[in-house]
Structures are given as C-alpha cells and as structure tokens.
Amino acid sequence: MVVWLPGNPQTSHCSLPLPYPTNYKTSSTRPEQRERKREKMGETVGNRISVSEEIINRAASQAMRAHNSGGRPFILDKPRGLSVAIFAFAGSWLPDDWFTHPPFGETTMDTSTFPSLRSVGNDEVAVVNASFLRRFKAIIDQLSLEKEVQKVVVDKKQVLFTGHSWGAAMAILATLYFLEKGGPNQNPPRCITFGSPLVGDRIFGHAVRREKWSDRFIHFVMRFDIIPRIMLCPASIEHQQILNHFNPRSEFYGKPIDPHLAFYLKVMGSASSVATHDACNLMGCTNPLLENLRNFVELSPYRPFGTFIFCTGNGKLVVVKNPNAVLQMLFYTAQLTQEEAAEIAQRSLYEHLVYDNEVQESLGTQNVVYLDSLEELPLTSDSGPAIVNAALNDLGLSTEARLCLRAAGGLENRRLRNQAKIDDNQQKMKEELSKLRGYQEKGETLGLGYYDAFKSQEEKADFDANVSRLVLAGIWDEIIEMLRRSELPDEFENREELIELGTLYRRLVEPLDIANYYRNLKNEDTGTYMTRGRPKRYRYAQRWLEHAEKKPSGWRSESCFWAEVEELCSIKTGSNNGPLQDTKKQKIQQLQKRLIEWIHDGCLGKDVVLEGSTFVKWWKTLPSEYRSEPESSMIANLIHG
C-alpha cells in the first residue's frame, strides 16, 4: 500500500506560527474540513503552508500591482482584519537589472550582510545574481524599508514580503535579510513570490535549508512561464528579446518574438543541460565522462529553493519542496510537443502575467496535490493514486520525468538514512570518548598529562588510546566524507546535538592527533600541523561551533593549543633574527592570554599545566621579555595551584 506522507521529516521541527500537520491522515480528518471535495484532496493549501488563502490572494494582487508601481521600490499594504503587513516589491525589465555580465551574471554572496549564506564545514560561500544583490542593497541603503518593517514588528504583525517577476527576487533577498537580522523572539518574516527568477546557487539553497528557513519561502510558478527558467540560460540575444517583450518602454513591448520559437528553444536547451546534469548526479551516474564534461560545458549555477507551487493552468496546484525535484520540474513541465511548439512558446510569455487570476481561481477550487513521497510516484500515466497521476499528467510529466523525480526523492531518503546511521553510531562514539576521558583523567592524577603520555607511547593505555582515536577518526571521517559529497540532510550541520558532540570530540581527541603528528616528526618533512596535518574532521567540528555561536572562523581554536606550543618550541629563542623573534613574541603573549581564557572556560584541561608537561617545561625556559603580566603570574599560579 502506498501512503502519502509529507516526505520532509527533517523540516518538521521548524517553528511555524500555525500547527504543522504531521501527516496526511490527521490533517484530512480535521472537523473543519466538512466539504467532501476538500476531504478527498486533503487539507487546504493555506493550512499546509500556514498562510491563509485570503493572504495569498492579497499578496498576489499586491505583487502584480507593485510590479508597475514605477519609482517606488516597494508598496506596503496592511489589510484590515488581517494580522499581516504585505511588502510588495516593484519590478524591472532593464537588462542590467537581470544580468551584469555573461554568461550568468553571478557573484559570491556578501557574507557581511548575509553571514549564514554559506556552507559551514565545506566553507564555500553561496553564489547570487549580482544584479539582484546590487539593486537590493540600494533599497536597503534608503533605510525606508527597514523603518517600515520595524514598525510592523512593533505592532506584532506578521511581515510578508512578496513580488512578481524581478520584484520576487527583491522579496527573497529582503526576507533573507530580515531572517538574518531577526532576534530569537521575533516572528520571522515570510515570503510569497509569483513567477520569480532563480536567485542563488546550490549552496544558497543549502544554507537556507540548514538554517531552517526554507518553509518561509513559497514560490508560485505557472507551468510554462519562461521567467522562472530564464536564469538557467546564459545571457544572450534571446534574453534581451524576452525582457523587451515584457518591457512597456520597449518598442518590442507585447509584440511576438521573432523567430517565434528560437527564444524558447534556447532557454529550454539550457534548462535541459542543467536538469539532465543534475539528474545524472541524482541517479548516481558512474560514467566518468560526466566529470570530464564539466571542463567543457558551462552550466548555470542557479538552483531553486523553498516550497514551489506549480499551477497546471487548469486550476490545479502541485506542491513540491524537494529542491532537486523542483529543478527537474522546471524543465520537464515546460517541455514541448512538436505540434504545439508555437503555441507553447506564446504561452511561456503570456503565463508570466496572469498569476493573480490563476492563483485566485486555483485556491478557490483547492485541487491540490502534494508531491512528497517522490520515491513512490507512479511511472505510467494510469497507475498509482488517480489524483496524483492526474496532476502529473496535467503537468505533462512523462515516465522519463517521473524517474528523475523518483531519483530526487531517493537522494532525500538516502540522506536521511545516512543521518540515522550516524545517530546509531552515537553510542559507540560516546563509549570511545568516555574511554579517552578516563585516559585523560588518569594522566592528570598520575601527574603526566595525556598529551605527553600519548606522545611517548610507553604504556598499554597509550596504545589503547590510539586505537580509540582511530575508531573515532573512522566514524568522523566518514561523516565528513558524506558532507563533502552532499550525502547528508542540509540541516545536518545545524543540529545542536552534533555540534556538542563534535566539540567534545575535538577538545578531547585532537591533542592526540597533534601528539601523534609531532611524535612521528611529520613537521620535519611535511610542514606544521596547522598548515599540512590537521584532519578535516576537526576543522569541520570547529566551524560548526563557530557558526552556531556566530563567531568568525578561527575563533574556537583551543583544541589546537598543543600544535601552537610545538611550533613555538621548535623556534629557537634568543638567536638574533629580529623579525622572527618579534612575531614569536607576539604569538607567545597571545597564547598565554588565550590559555588562561580557555582554562577558565573549561575548554582546555588542567593537564596542560601539570609540572612535567611539554608546555610547562617550555614555558619555564622562556626569557622574561616573552612573558607579560598579569598573565605570567596567573599561569604560574595555575601550575602550582
């Protein structure tokens, strides 16, 4: 039996203003849903995305109105009787506002304004459309938006950003801007777009999902609308033609594009490249040609994120959250048939302008399908649940397309399984960690810190600790490898439990890796631990904590204390090479300062200051000019206290 469950369990712990249905059954048996038709279809789409139909309709009409508002960057609407304030952004058809440079006009995200829009462990910055970012910053610089939003927040109203077409891109960036700024008690803003172009890349979407903001974004897309696909295509003559067609100030405004099919083929050809490329990855393509092709084929970096609601054009709505599935649908739903090619090309332009009516009509009939259990989609046009199949057929999704959607669902489930597997391993990790904790404590009572004991490898306990170290390294390296291959849910790096465990692990075990590194004298032939030897598993765990605490990269380096000591030990003091001595002096003084902080915070163990430790031995040899007060006497106290 096939059960249609919402397939995104990893987003279900997201805090939403309205109760979020946990599965299909409970929601469909709600008493308020008396209407037979609705009962059959499930809850209303408004319930599902926790925005009322009234507000969605209002947003649609405001978005369309604002698009032609001329001059003002946005219009503000506070509808009576609704506890919401709608900010609708104006549009633009100027080519410069869409693409700054060929082929794709992208730039890396401004991380001072949008600090979260990056991957944490992998440490890659998201990519965004440069024109959109530039124009959005100009809006922010005018300050009026910020002031108005502030007022609405004080009034305890829900902030809703919306926009149509280019204005939608502004609404997305505005939402992110205020999500980044938002305090913990503030009701986070929402975003509803209509016919939005794609704004950011894969990492952009990943970061939004990681921060659990994905549910704040609802995108309505008409089946054939060209604009949501336009960013998949490199800047070209055809682009220009499309924008001119929509631009009231252009001499080509509203006129058929000539030749009538070329622009559509161009955009769809590029969309096909991107979609098939991603599908190959989703399907686990093992052909090595795929990798080499990337050297020759430049693909658009832009990818969808958030909840997409496709309008079939005959009153039905299809809701999809899986970003990979959305990308496939952007391509496959707009495929041509040879016979209707010209008509479809026309529709691709026309449909961009009818959102308000279409949305209102579709919300009225509530003919909605949620594509959540993608892995169970029927492959032929007449199998599986009739409602689902009817919607898929209305969107023109062939077996080929459905296989791609299944693959997208497959990846999502695989990621969840991988995460579950890691969770199963947590017990094992904790056991090994407690063994090492015992090893550390024993060292402290015996008066020889575990760092130095491990470095000498004399006792059985040292060998056992090494085995524990390697067992843990195996588990963590596997996690990191999965992250690098995007084989874990996007939210993975934002899980408190993991960050905590990672920090515990890093503080306890990294000293052993450092000891091992310097014991084997790897610094002599490969360089210092920090530059050449530090395993990724510690770098990642440190970045997780820094990100969670909103601290800059490098802030939480306490677990590398011993590496710094070893490096400072290896520079000879007292010789007369001036500049080297100066930087060394600075480093030593800094290290002393931070050591005291770390010991007070409890993130460094007392074993560091045991009499016989490498650190204390070295510290005692330091000439007085390397020490500064009051740190020096504080350290002395620690050693003797």
Question: Rounded distance, CA 460 to CA 597, Å?
Answer: 33
Q: Is the dihedral of CA 442, 447, 452, 458 positive or negative?
A: negative
In the stretch 381-400, what mask flags binding to another protein with x, by CB under 8 A?
A: x-x------------x-xxx
352 included as an active-site residue? yes
Question: Rounded distance, CA 596 to CA 276, Å?
Answer: 56
Supply the DSSP symbol for 395.
T
Supply the DSSP symbol for 370.
E
Considering the complex, state which of residue 198 and residue 392 has its C-beta at the smaller distance from another protein: 392
Considering the complex, state which of residue 15 and residue 286 has its C-beta at the smaller distance from another protein: 286
Q: How far is the CB of 386 from another protein (least distance, A)?
A: 15
> 455-514: which residues touch another protein (CB under 8 A)?
457, 460, 463-464, 466-467, 470-471, 473-475, 477-478, 480-482
Question: Rounded distance, CA 285 to CA 291, Å?
Answer: 10
Question: Rounded distance, CA 407 to CA 328, Å?
Answer: 10
165 included as an active-site residue? yes
Alpha-carbon distance values, 334 to 56, 184, 267, 291, 590 (Å)? 25, 41, 11, 27, 61
In the stretch 336-375, what mask flags binding to another protein with x, by CB under 8 A?
A: xxx------------------------------------x
Q: Which of 115, 410, 530, 631 binds another protein (CB under 8 A)?
A: 410
For residue 514, give both structure tokens.
């450092």
Q: Which 3 state secondary structure label does DSSP give 45?
A: helix
For residue 462, give both structure tokens.
């040292």
Q: How far is the CB of 505 from another protein (least distance, A)?
A: 14
Q: Which of 16, 130, 140, 403 binds another protein (CB under 8 A)?
A: 403
Considering the complex, state which of residue 358 and residue 513 has its C-beta at the smaller distance from another protein: 513
Considering the complex, state which of residue 74 and residue 331 has its C-beta at the smaller distance from another protein: 331
Supply angle C-alpha 571, 577, 578, rounded to 5: 110
What angle in degrees, to the nearest 10, is found between the helix axes of 341-350 and 262-282?
Answer: 90
Question: Rounded distance, CA 84 to CA 156, Å?
Answer: 9
Closest by CA to 169, choosing from 93, 234, 111, 241, is 93
Q: Which of 133, 226, 363, 404 binds another protein (CB under 8 A)?
A: 404
Q: How far is the CB of 272 from another protein (least distance, A)?
A: 4
Strand partners, 181: none
In the stretch 259-298, what mask flags binding to another protein with x, by CB under 8 A?
A: ------x--xxxxxx--xx-xx-xxxxxxxxxxxx-xxx-
For residue 320, give both structure tokens.
């999809």
> 292-331: which residues touch another protein (CB under 8 A)?
292-293, 295-297
Q: Around Cβ 386, how many Cβ atoms within 10 Å?
A: 10
Strand partners, 164: 194
640 included as an active-site residue? no
Question: Rounded distance, CA 308 to CA 317, Å?
Answer: 10
Tell whether residue 515 is a contact of another protein (CB under 8 A).
Answer: no
Q: Is the dihedral of CA 181, 185, 186, 192 positive or negative?
A: positive
For residue 476, give both structure tokens.
């963590």
Size, binding site for another protein by CB under 8 A? 66
Q: How far is the CB of 401 from another protein (least distance, A)?
A: 5
CA 107 to chain centre: 17
Piece of the chain touching another protein by CB under 8 A; list 244-252, 401-409, 499-507, 588-596: 401-409
Considering the complex, state which of residue 446 and residue 467 has its C-beta at the smaller distance from another protein: 467
Q: Which of 178, 224, 332, 562 binds another protein (CB under 8 A)?
A: 332
Active-site residue list = 165, 225, 352
Residues in the site for another protein, rule: CB under 8 A? Answer: 2, 265, 268-273, 276-277, 279-280, 282-293, 295-297, 332, 335-338, 375-376, 378-381, 383, 396, 398-401, 403-404, 406-407, 410, 414, 457, 460, 463-464, 466-467, 470-471, 473-475, 477-478, 480-482
